[in-house]
Amino acid sequence: CVGLQTQTDFFQNTHFEYDGDALLLKNSSDTTANLIEFVTSPNNPDGNLREAVVPQGASVRAIYDHAYYWPHFTAIPAAADEDVMIFTISKLTSHAGSRIG
């Protein structure tokens, strides 16, 4: 995602870097790298439910962005129960881009 690359470059932080598509890391043998995978579920604009693709472990975590987690947008089969979840209040108060979690 070009937007995430731009944001990562903007902050110029030496503690993290943007590696791009998580599918490229799915079968990585590097078990020492700390990794955070951002998962948008349901995805916008298609509404598809998504799961993390990189196997979770001690050095790998997924952050689920549930901005569109609304039953009237997507058929949601079960309650969200991930370790780290963020939501938006834009649907309620028109604060587009705000995330809470």
Cα distance between residue 80 and residue 41, in whole Å: 10
In the predicted model, what is the mean pLDDT of the chain? Answer: 74
> What does the domain layout of the chain look like in residue ranges?
29-93
pLDDT band at 34 (very low <50, low <70, confident <90, very high): confident
pLDDT tens figures, 51-93: 888 887 778 888 888 777 766 666 667 777 778 887 776 656 6
Q: Where are the alpha helices (DSSP H) in the chain?
A: 2-11, 90-93
pLDDT given for residue 99 in this prediction:
65
pLDDT given for residue 30 in this prediction:
65
pLDDT given for residue 31 in this prediction:
59
Contact 96, 70 (CB under 8 A): no
pLDDT given for residue 29 in this prediction:
66
Peptide bond into 45 cis (omega under 30): yes
Q: Which residues contact 59 (CB under 8 A, 6 or more apart)?
A: 31, 32, 33, 34, 35
Cα distance between residue 87 and residue 63, in whole Å: 11
